Amino acid sequence: MTQAPILEIRRLSKAFGPVKALSDVRFELRRGEIHALCGENGAGKSTLMNMIAGVLQPDEGDILIDGERVSIHSPAAAQRLGIALVHQEIALCQDATVAENIYMAAINSRRAPLMNFQKLYADAQKVMDLLAPIPVRTRVADLSISNQQLVEIAKALTLDCKVLMLDEPTAALTESEAQRLFSIVRGLKERGISVVYISHRMAEIFSLCDRVTVFRDGRYVATDQVAAVSPDDVVRKMVGREITQLYPDKLAPQAPGRLLLSVEGLSDGRRFADVDLQLRAGEILGIGGLIGAGRSEIAQTVCGLRPMTSGTVALDGKQLRLRGYGDAVKAGLVYLSEDRKGSGVFLDLPIAANISALDLGRLTGPLGLLDRKAEDRQARELTGRLGVRMAGIEATVSTLSGGNQQKVAIARQLSVSPKVIIMDEPTRGIDVGAKVEIHRLLRQLAGSGVGVIVISSELPELIGLCDRVLVVREGRIAGELTAGELGEEAIIMLASGVQDSSNQRQAQNVA
Amino acid sequence: MHAEIKAAGRRVNFAQLASMREAGLIVIILALCIAMSFASPHFLTWGNFRAMLMSFSIEGIVVVGMTILLIVGGIDLSVGSVVCFSMVVSGALFLAGLDPWTASLIGIGVSALIGAAMGFFVTVIGLNHFITSLAAMVIVRGMCLVVTKGTPLSLFTLPPAFKAIGQGSFNNIPYVILIFIVVVAIFDFLLRRATAFRKVFYTGSNEKAAQFSGIRTNQVKFWVTVLCSTLAGLAGVIYMARFGAATPTFGAGMELNIIAAAVIGGASLNGGSGTIFGAILGMALLSVVTSSLILLDVSVYWQDMIKGCILLAAVSIDHFLHRKKS
């Protein structure tokens, strides 16, 4: 019999309320391998990692370390077992130095009453230099996001672990930083450390990993030797489901009308460059890509919410000179934020006030007083049109369900009768019923001549709803997919950059 | 879906919650007044009411500005110092030979400039209101001492027409109370009806969402900060007319009373909610309590303790209601 795997998961299940995050999954990590874990958003990868790291407790099933059943009650217990997890989100003490963050666990368990800062800095610098020459006396808050990510990884390296789990470690890294990380990970492998590597990027998986396991909708799909499969196979296994008839009918071919919005050579000097984009009346244009690829930044810049360094934006043939978002709204260009609670709605204000926030001018009389009757009329009309379920327009938005809150946010955009409406993740975190309603509404808007752009991380939404999809990768338009070419595999390939050159050329020709 | 509507119907909404709070305060104030009318024969007299109204009328003008600032999500600890500075600057200018009206206008203008300076630090430099106004509180107090060289200015030479603002009355109603009522009525109306003030609620409720609605939130915060200091300046010159003197230590600790009144009246320190009417009721409650304690011969040493407990109780009840709501 061969040696037991260092980490094994058997028949593990986990539910959050009625939602099954994982059902009956298995996973096996051999000593000294780099094992990729793949799946779409919501496939259950992070849930599994959190259970192995002691953050969450499984409902059912076993976790085995070196062939022995263990129960991992807390992150500290996971650390004692030699398991380290680098979270996708950065969880550092922003006001402490890099060195203090790297050795936080060690400092916490020390008995000595005083800190030896000289030794702390020297040791931390040694670990940090393996990844990047970041001075360890720097405050974490003063570092860029990618450098903070590297500090997170350095922190895990100090834990002297047997199993290292990396949850999308390259999401915020540049190409050269990522390359450095890969060589570190390979070095760890040579030292006998086993690595679980979560990533969407096929190129990384295929250059770095030994085996790949795919999860889909909280279930285990397959484990393969990387050498024995192609990126296409993996993507197909990740997607693997038919898209149902949840979406409204699309535009007939050749139906798009006149050019509504035209963006040329847009750059902000930081997050994206050279973005071209055309939107015609009547169509729904999708923008896909990985989280952090720069989609929201592009949309916000188009609307004057962020500064641009070069490029032009023309609406209805007229070039816009935006000094701020207010100018865009006046011109008929509106943007709906992806972060509903954080920047989309005013939770503790009434529904009517939420809807009128975008253009108070139209509700204001000659004396600068607000016409409350007009405000109420507008709120009643729009909530009726959108089917907002509420106690009344004076109720605060916090009393509504997520889907109805989103409808209120959309009602606000509609209150100015926009020519172009850009929606960033319009259906994130809302239930299926409201989702279908919002999709119908968007199609209806497009049908009435409004230009609609939908930014979405949900592939089925992009494919089911949009007439055309632009995919953004690392701040650039990686390609365009028209009706015939739309598919989850095509989008993932463009987004993650595995697209082979012939397809890419094809995509550019279409664009 | 049906259950959801019913659940929403049972919940209290924003306007109801505010009016509930105001109705609650009115009930408490009335109950206190009725109880006091039995306890002391002096309580239910016009003289006592006039004294109570007088005692909070001038502070009430400052409460108006503070409430609006709290709604935008700010706070101003410097109002006590600014009241005093407006008073000593106007007083010193009058003693230097300026007519008292011009002197007062300059005093109010200087107060507005202090507000503009704070607004600059908050919106351009990016400091928070608490720290900025804490610094201003100390700096402006120091300026009061510098202007007066530490000694009170005696202003008994103020012309009677000016003194009348603080000391005179119209049909037995003091001008001070009339000014207070006018200021409250104007700003209560504007806060409910004017578009410009609606932006104050948006900014305070969710600054990011306000920016994503095209509202220039920094401008809103700046002007509300200026307004709060300006109203403090106005209160300062009324105090000067009332006392016929300008004391460099006047108004120390006033900010706490004013913030307490606004918060008891329903203004949230997190911004986004509050009404001027509520804040004035908060002020009235504190005033009735103070007056009751005096009439009941309770030692003045107890007053602050009791006021503090009322503040704690009001905020706890508010927190409890909000937690239940979510």
Tell me what the mean pLDDT of segment B226-242 comes to.
96
% of chain A residues with pLDDT over 90: 29
Chain A environment of B325 (Cβ under 8 Å) = 398
In B, minimum Cα distance to A393 occurs at: B13
A contact test, residue of B5, B192, B202, B206 with most A CBs within 10 A: B206
Domain around B189: 50-251
d(CA B121, CA B129): 9
What chain A holds in terms of domains, given with CATH numbers, is 7-239 (3.40.50.300), 245-332+418-511 (3.40.50.300), 344-417 (no CATH)
Is residue B1 less than 8 Å (CB to CB) from chain A?
yes
* B147 within a domain of the structure (yes/no): yes
Give how far Cα A259 sits from Cα of A119, A255, A317, Å: 64, 12, 8
Q: Which of A302, A349, A400, A414 to mutate to test the interface with B (most CBs of B within 10 A)?
A: A349
Domain assignment present for residue B116? The answer is: yes
Q: What's the pLDDT score for residue A509? A: 42
Which of A347, A358, A395 has its CB closest to that of B206? A347
In a domain? residue B166: yes
Q: What percent of chain B has pLDDT over 90?
A: 59
> Cα B261 from chain centroid?
7
User: What average pLDDT does range A289-309 have in this prediction?
Assistant: 88
First-to-last C-alpha distance (Å) of chain B: 19
ipTM of the prediction: 0.79
**Type of residue numbered A441:** L
Which chain A residues are closer than 8 Å to B271 by Cβ?
Answer: none
Give domain status of residue B8, yes or no.
no
SS3 (DSSP) at A483? helix
In a domain, B318, yes or no: no
A339-372 per-residue burial string, b: 16 or more CB within 10 A, e: under 16? ebbebbbbbbbbbbbbbbbbbbeebbeeeebbbe
Is 80 exceeded by the pLDDT of residue A3?
Answer: no
Q: Give the residue with greater pLDDT, A357 vs A233.
A: A357
Whether residue B269 lies within 8 A of chain A, CB to CB, comes out as no
Mean pLDDT of B288-305: 85
**Which residues from chain A sit within 8 angstroms of residue B322, using beta carbons?**
none
Is residue B284 situated within a structural domain? no
Residues A121/A193, Cβ–Cβ less than 8 Å: no
CA atoms within 13 A on the CB side of A332: 16
Q: Are A171 and A88 in contact (CB under 8 A)?
A: yes
Domain assignment of residue B270, yes or no? no
Average pLDDT of A461-470? 89
User: Residue B9 above 70 pLDDT?
Assistant: no
DSSP annotation of A210 reads S
Question: What is the band of B21 on the pLDDT scale with cuts at 50, 70, 90?
Answer: confident
The number of folded domains in chain B is: 1
Mutation target among B212, B215, B223, B273 for the A interface, most CBs of A within 10 A: B212
Tell me the H-state helices in chain B.
Answer: 2-10, 14-39, 46-71, 79-95, 100-120, 129-148, 160-167, 175-193, 195-205, 207-211, 217-243, 254-264, 276-295, 303-325
Cross-strand bridge partners of residue A314: A262, A319
Per-residue confidence (pLDDT) for residue B326, from 0 to 100: 40
3-state class of B195 per DSSP? helix
Q: How far apart are CA A494 and CA B246, in angstroms?
A: 74
CB contact under 8 A, A348 and B14: yes
Mean pLDDT of B132-158: 94
CA separation for the pair B78, B55 (Å, rounded) = 20
Residues on A contacting B at a C-beta cutoff of 8 Å: 305, 324-326, 328-329, 335, 337, 339, 342-350, 353, 357-361, 363-364, 368-370, 372, 389-392, 394-396, 398-401, 412
Out of B198, B211, B273, whose CB is closest to A370? B198
Name residues 213-242 of chain B within 8 A of A (Cβ). Answer: 213-216
Classify burial at A95, counting beta carbons within 10 Å of its beta carbon; exposed 0-12, middle 13-18, buried 19 or more: exposed
CB contact under 8 A, A370 and B199: no
Residue B24: HSE in the Cβ half-sphere, 13 Å Cα cutoff: 15
| Rounded Cα–Cα distance for residues A283 and A511 (Å) | 15
A394:B196 CB<8 A: no
